[in-house]
């Protein structure tokens, strides 16, 4: 699948932080840097969540964005499957497509056996996987991920990372990921280092 072109220049200033960076036109960009350098703020700017940010999209603003914050927030009264399906319902997909895609994504992130459980009934890593699946469920043009594998156990992390990166590449989406993990950085097409 041909990817969506996503290039942007971002300027953001607040009392304790000044960010200025470009997002190159490659499928997978990793943002790294020390704590407090602005990685999360950079993602929030690209997600449209920072009013003070000035983002210039070279090829027009992406039609859809998926965002996974560092602290995953799932709907507590919904099962993991329903949490994943929620983004597709908001995007207007039909029930059959939602059901099929939800099952695929549960398998993709290795939590199919937990589909009916609610967030408080699973581990932090399992919640992070459900949040990751929800972020990619509606096939956004731009995917913004903040430390998306940090809560996943070491044994599962490499497998889930490889599957997610392959899935994103096949979908044609562009991904910007904030991370400290050397394995995430090695998998990226470009690395942007933010300094305080």
- Record the tokens describing residue 114, joined without a space: 């937990």
How many domains, in total, are found in the chain?
A: 1
CATH number at residue 66: 3.40.50.300
- Asked if residue 105 lies in contact with residue 136, where contact means CB atoms within 8 angstroms, the answer is yes
Give the per-residue SS3 of 116-140. CCCHHHCCHHHHHHHHHHHHHHCCC
Residue range 153-192, pLDDT digits in tens? 998 999 999 999 999 989 988 899 999 999 999 999 999 8
Q: In the predicted model, what is the mean pLDDT of the chain?
A: 88
φ/ψ of residue 57, rounded to 5: -95, 115
pLDDT at 53 over 90: no
- Record the tokens describing residue 41, joined without a space: 């703020």
> How would residue 6 be classed by pLDDT, with cut points 50, 70 and 90?
low
- Record the tokens describing residue 121, joined without a space: 């009934």
33 inside domain: yes
Report pTM: 0.87
> How would residue 4 be classed by pLDDT, with cut points 50, 70 and 90?
low
1 inside domain: no
């Amino acid at each position: 699948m041909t990817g969506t072109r996503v290039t942007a220049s971002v300027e953001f200033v607040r009392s304790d932080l000044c960010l200025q960076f470009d997002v190159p036109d490659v499928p997978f960009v990793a943002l790294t840097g020390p704590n407090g350098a602005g990685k999360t703020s950079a993602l929030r700017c690209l997600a449209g969540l920072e009013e003070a940010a000035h983002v210039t999209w070279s090829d027009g603003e992406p039609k859809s964005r998926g965002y996974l914050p560092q602290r995953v927030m799932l709907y507590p009264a919904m099962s993991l499957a329903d949490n994943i399906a929620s983004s597709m319902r908001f995007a207007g997909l039909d029930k059959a497509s939602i059901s099929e895609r939800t099952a695929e994504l549960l398998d993709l992130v290795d939590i199919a056996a937990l589909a009916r459980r609610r967030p408080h009934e699973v581990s932090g890593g399992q919640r992070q996987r459900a949040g990751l699946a929800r972020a990619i469920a509606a096939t956004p043009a731009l995917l913004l991920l903040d430390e998306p594998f940090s809560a996943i156990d070491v044994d599962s992390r490499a497998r889930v990372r490889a599957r997610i990166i392959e899935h994103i590449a096949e979908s044609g989406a562009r991904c910007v990921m904030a991370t400290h993990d050397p394995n995430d950085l090695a998998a990226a097409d470009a690395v942007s280092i933010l300094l305080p």
